[in-house]
Structures are given as C-alpha cells and as structure tokens.
A and B are shown apart, each in its own frame.
Chain A
Amino acid sequence: MTDARWSEPAPTRRWSWTDPALRSAVIQIALAIALIWMAWSFFANAQANLARQGIASGFGFLDNSAGFGITQTLIPYSESMSYGRAFLVGLLNTLLVAALGIVLATIIGFLVGVARLSKNVVIKALASAYVEVTRNLPPLFQILFWYLAVLSTMPSPRQSWSFGLQPMFNAFAGWASGIGLTPLSDMLAALAGDVSAPGVFINNRGLVVPRPVFEADFSIIFWIFVAGIAAAFLLARWARRRQERTGQQFPSFWAGLALVAVPPTIAGFLLGWPLSFETPVLRGFNFVGGIRVIPEFVALLVALAIYTAGFIAEIVRAGILAVSKGQTEAAYSLGLRSGPTLRLVVIPQAMRVIVPPLTSQYLNLTKNSTLGVAVGYPDLFAIFAGTTLNQTGQAIEIIALTMAVYLVISILTSALMGWYNKRVALVER
C-alpha cells in the first residue's frame, strides 16, 4: 500500500540561510573547524614555546630511571627502574583503592539506604545521622581525620597490638570434633600448631598479616575451588529454571555453598594441606615478612568509602521510594514475605532508578582518590603528576598522559555500568 504523499517529487534544496537544516549543518561544521583550529593552535604554541626555552619534550623520559622509592608496590619496583614502571605502580595503586572503595561504598551505601527507610526509629535516626555527617564534610578533611586522628594514634611497631591465629584455628578444631568431623578437626589442630606465634599486628605503620605460601600442589585445590564456583552458578540457574517451570523451590544457596567449600577441603586434606604461612617478625624498625597494609592506604580507602556511601545511601533510598507502594502490596497479597518482596519485587525495579546516579558516584570516588596525595598515598597522581613531573619538568606530556588515564578509567566504568543498566532496564514485552 502506497501513500500519495511519498510519491510526490521532493522539493529541490536551495542555498538559503532560512533553511533550518542547512543553517544548523553550516553552524556545526564551522564549530568543528573552530575547535580543531583551537586544539592545533594550542599544540603549535606549546611546541614553539618549549623549543624557545630549550625544555625537553617527547615521551623518552619514560625510559629514564626514576630514582625515588615508593611505599606500596603491587608489582616489583626499585629506584633503578624507569619512570614508566613508576607510572604502572601508581596506576595499579589508584585502581586498587578505587576498586575496593567502590565495593565498600556500595555495600555500606545499600545498608544505610535501606536502614533510612526502616520502621525502627533508632536505626532510622542512626542512618540519617550517618548520611548527614558524611555527605556534609569535605572528603579531604575526612581523609586527614582518618589518617591523623585515628591511624596515627596506633602504637609503635614495638608496642603493636597483636592477634594470634592459633586460638581461631583451635576454636574451629573444637567445633569440628564436636560435630564428629574428626579428620577436619585433626587438620585444623595441625594448622593451629603451624601458627603458634602471633601473626596479625596493628601499629602506626599499618596492619601486618601472615603471607600464605602456596606449594606446588595447591593449584589443584585452587582449580577444584574454581570448578565448585562454576558448578554452584550452574546449579543456581537450573534451580531458577525449575522453579519458573514447576514452582518447586530448591535450596540452591546452601547446595552451592557446599559445592564451593566441601570439595577443596577434601582435596586439601588428601594432599596434606600444601599451604603454610610466612609469619611477620619484628626486626629492627619494622616487621619483616608477611603482608603489610600501609595506613595511608587504609585512611584513603575508609574515608572515600564512607564519604561516597553517604551519597549512595540517598540514591538507594530514592530508588526504593520510586517503586510504588502498590507493588509491595501486590507482592504481599500473593503471599510473599517481606524479605522476598524486597529482593524479588522492589529492588529489581529500584535498580532502574539507582544505577545511573550510582555510576556518577563511582566516577567521583575514583577521581577523589587523587586526594591521597595529602597523606602520602602513592597513587598515579602523586607519583606521576607529582614527583615525576617535578623531576623531569615535562609538564605537558605528563599531564596529558595522566588526563588520558583518568579519562579511560572513567569511560570504562561508565561503559560497564551502562551495560549493567541495560540488563536491569525495564524489558517491555
């Protein structure tokens, strides 16, 4: 079937300033040209000025040796390595604090957000107080508070607070023998013997914990563990499908937990538990061995997580309130209890409102991690845009590279959250 309107010949386009489509195209092209010209003139001007002053340019400095030490390195690093390596160390430190901060802030934020809607007056008041305090204090102030007022009051290494792992293992061994799992009890008792010395220390240099030393056979246990996780996922999927089909429920959480926990434990027992612990020892000024979490990292992580959680709590509250009361009432009338109602009816709908602003908060947290420079946390900004810039004097290259890195991190976060948002978005049938 044809429409008469479409068969008429299109009117011929005329060069006319009154044609809105043409006018908008011309303006856009002119704007694009102006932008390109502006970028080019910045670039040319910078080059000319640098050449005039005889200041070095280019990225060759990345191969020069850095010469400065870094407190926290996730990959091997020493002063004789290059600025490029120092850049990587800083980047990983930024990613570490941002990733852990996002996870922590999300957990705290969801808990507080739900608590603000609680019918219990005390819980509600506490959650409200949390949000008002954390949201209204500057993040830099909060970082300095945790660093100077809390963490620096910890005792010196010699007077560390110490905790042994032995009592914990002994307690588990007693519990295991109590319920008749003699082999497990024996194994835990043996492990307790391995860690007789206190292994966990807290002092003003940070938190020191024993480092697990994996022997060759441990990879078998690891892969069994991974297989267990995969199996648990498949089981959960099967259980959900079955429930959709037949309405019968299956305890997939407990079954999954058993799949993840039991086979590696049995394998570990059969292999003679190929795992030992390197216990930290106080030698000279600091602890040697073990894994150390520096207070700069803790202060930054805690401050960022707590600060951002205040905003996330409000977003979560708004999201839940956006789901109409009728949804809850409908769920109740179907016989769902309040837990499943929240989990299956309210939260999935609330997520549509929550996810877009949540993305902004994740980006904010990542960008705020640059404030770590105030407490000496060696993130990308401190190491690269700070120390490296001061030493090499190559401001343009370094600032451009740092900008590009934060831009890429932010765009990747947005893309990931955009993908998740599509998944939780309303599916119209």
Chain B
Amino acid sequence: MVHSFKRILLAAGVLALGVGAAGAATLDDVKARGALNCGVSQGLPGFSNPDDKGNWTGLDVDFCRAIAAAIFNDASKVKYSPLSAKDRFTALQSGAIDVLSRNTTWTMSRDTTLGFNFVGVMYYDGQGFMVRKSLNLKSVNELNGASICVQTGTTNELNVGDYFRTNNLKYELIAFATIDETIKAYDSGRCDAFTSDQSQLYAVRLKLTNASDHVVLPEVISKEPLGPVVRHGDDQWFDLVKWSYFALVDAEELGVNSKNVDQMVSSPNPEIKRLLGSDGKFGEAIGLPVDWVARMVKQVGNYGEIFDRNLGPNTPLAIDRGLNKLWNKGGLQYGMPVR
C-alpha cells in the first residue's frame, strides 16, 4: 500500500511540476495514438483560429497538418490544444503536446533553460504599435507619455520597456492576462496604443469595433522570429519537424505546389527528384516513407501556398510577405537542401 501511495505522490509531483517523462520516441507515440497533438493559440486570425464551422485554420495550423500528412498521409489527423501565452510552455514540457506551433518568439532563454528546441522560423515578425487614426501620429517616438496596452507573458511586454527607456520616453504599461482583455481595454479608450507583433496587430484590428479608425505605426521595434518548438531529448522527432519545415520552403523554391506535385514526381530535375522521393530514400532517415514531401505538398501545399491561403492578398489580413519571401526573392525564408 505504501508503495502505491508513493507512486501516486510521485505522479502528483511530476504533474504539479509540469515535468513529464520526455519519452524517447515521440514519432512512435504519435503513430500509436493515430493523431498529432499540436499546441496552437486561443484564436489568432491567420495563424491559428477556428473558422465558422469550428475547423482550425491558419499558418501555424497548416504546419501541423503538413506533419500529419507526412506521417499518416492524412492532414486531418491532428488534435489541437488551444493554449494561452502563459500556459504554452508547460504544455510542451509535460508532454501534453508533441509540437508547439503557436506564434512563439525564438529567444535564447526559451531555447535553452526551458528545455526546448526551436525548429526554424515559420514567420519573421517584429513588434509594432497600433493607435487611433484621430491622434495623427507618424511615429512611435511621438508616443511620449502614452498609456500602452499589452498582453502579459510575451516578449512584447519587455521590448516596450527596453525601447521607451532607450529613447528616453515616458509611458504607462497596462498588462492584461489574455489577448481579448487587452483588446477590450484598448477599444474602450483605456490606452492610447496597443502593442504586439505586427502580424497580430492586423488580426487584432479586425476584432475592433471600427477597424478603419486605427492605424499601425511604421516602426518595428524588435525582432520576433516565430517558429514551432519541440522538447529536448528526442533528436529524431526534432529532425522530422525541422525537415518538414525546410521541405515546405524547398518545395516553393523548386516550383512544386499542390496542383503540379503529381507531374513533378517524374521531373528530370535532380533536386525535385530527391525532394519528392523518386531518387534516394531521404524520408526513411526520419522514420517516414520516401514520398513524405509529396504527401505534405499535395494535401497542404508548399510554404508560399500556405502563406497566401492564410495571410495573403485574398485574405482579410492581406499581409505583405516582406521578410518572409524566399531568400532568392529578397526575403529570409531559406530551406536547407535535401541531399
């Protein structure tokens, strides 16, 4: 009896600490379970947001769907866990999710002391400010003495402090626990400015009472590289998630998309042959079949298609690709070569 009691205690301790067993083979667990557990936001249009039918959509969501397509040949085999900015890391540490794909900024402390690996940068972002049009502001530096609303548990909260201190500007920071409380306070006039990653500003603007009354200031005060995260301790899984991302970018660079992928399999281009598995067995090294990239691209699309579907000119957000263009088109998206 004492022994079972001790086990219960230990289990409770482990749960309480959010420190789960970082089991060896995540891929085996995912296959046995029949679904990928994917941590997403509680609703950020363009990145991870449930649509009117309750299906999850967005850039971060599509990345999870692509991984599911590579593993199961079925992009729908994903279970989503909506997480707040504060709770997201505990969920990954404890093993409740296999991958955190939730507009998370890659920082050194998160990559090291929290026990995580960032697999790449899905979206190069930067922190910006939104203000009312009626204030006629041209620059962040005119915000001296302003009240600023921010969500707590983010890098944004710290960047504001750094930026205003460096530029000798006074400010009043009002920090809220969830994004919705923050938006409500800004909308009611409690704050002069709302700050978050620029991509989020555009999404938040759609939730305001009168979106056209608000403008995003031109300055970007920080680097916010947003990317998917996995736990320390399973290198095969880390490789699988990392190369899924690279392959999506490579597919765009090589002109492989969801419409032409079936014809591309017989392309004579050696790079495309390696990517789509008609030459070599690259997928097997990460525990997947040789046609893993073909499966992803066919069901979810390449990086450019994913970006356009969720954030592109035909969406309400209409975000310019900017830094997220391919490296050979003036951007920073660069997939490592498959060979």
Name A's B-contacting residues (CB within 8 A): 38, 41-42, 45-46, 49-50, 52-56, 67-71, 78-80, 148, 152-153, 156, 204-205, 283-286, 288, 295-296, 373-376, 378, 382, 386-387, 390-391, 393, 395-396
Contacts and interface: CB of A to CB of B under 8 A. Distances in A.
B10 A45 contact: yes
B192 A41 contact: no
A387 B13 contact: no
- Give me the 10 closest cross-chain CB pairs, A-B, nearest first: A69-B173, A152-B188, A79-B161, A390-B153, A45-B13, A284-B145, A285-B146, A49-B19, A67-B158, A376-B174
B147 interface: yes
A285 B147 contact: yes
Interface in B14-53: 14, 17-19
B114 interface: yes
Contacts of B181: 374-376
Contacts of A152: 185, 188-190
B194 to A, nearest CB: 13
B9 A41 contact: yes
Interface string B168-184: 00011111110001001
B199 interface: no
A370 to B, nearest CB: 11
B118 interface: no
B172 A69 contact: yes
Contacts of A79: 161-162, 165
A148 B13 CA distance: 39
B93 to A, nearest CB: 7
B13 A55 contact: no
Contact of B13 (A46, A374, A386): A46
A393 B158 CA distance: 15
B190 A204 contact: yes
B252 interface: no
12 contacts: A46-B13, A52-B19, A53-B115, A68-B157, A68-B173, A148-B184, A204-B189, A283-B145, A376-B175, A376-B176, A382-B152, A386-B177
B86 interface: yes
Nearest to A391: B158
B288 to A, nearest CB: 28
Nearest to A286: B145
Contact of B190 (A41, A67, A205, A373): A205
A396 B144 CA distance: 38
Given A386-B86, A390-B153, A45 B14 contact: yes
Contacts of B185: 152, 376
Contacts of A204: 188-190
Chain B: interface secondary structure? mixed
Nearest to B177: A373
A372 to B, nearest CB: 11
Given A49-B13, A285-B146, A382-B177, 19 more contacts: A38-B9, A42-B9, A42-B13, A45-B13, A49-B17, A50-B17, A54-B113, A71-B174, A152-B185, A156-B189, A204-B188, A283-B145, A284-B145, A374-B177, A376-B175, A382-B175, A386-B86, A387-B175, A393-B89
Contact of B192 (A42, A285, A396): A285
A58 to B, nearest CB: 13
B115 A55 contact: yes
Contact of B113 (A156, A295, A387, A393): A393
Contacts of A148: 184, 188
A68 to B, nearest CB: 5
A56 B9 CA distance: 23
Given A46-B17, A286-B172, A387 B10 contact: no
A153 B184 CA distance: 12
Contacts of B161: 67-69, 79
B3 interface: no
Given A204-B189, A283-B145, A285-B192, A390 B17 contact: no
B14 A49 contact: yes
B261 to A, nearest CB: 41
Interface in B79-109: 85-86, 89, 93, 109
Contacts of A54: 113, 115
A156 B134 CA distance: 13
A272 B171 CA distance: 38
A154 to B, nearest CB: 9
B58 to A, nearest CB: 23
B160 interface: yes
A70 B145 contact: no
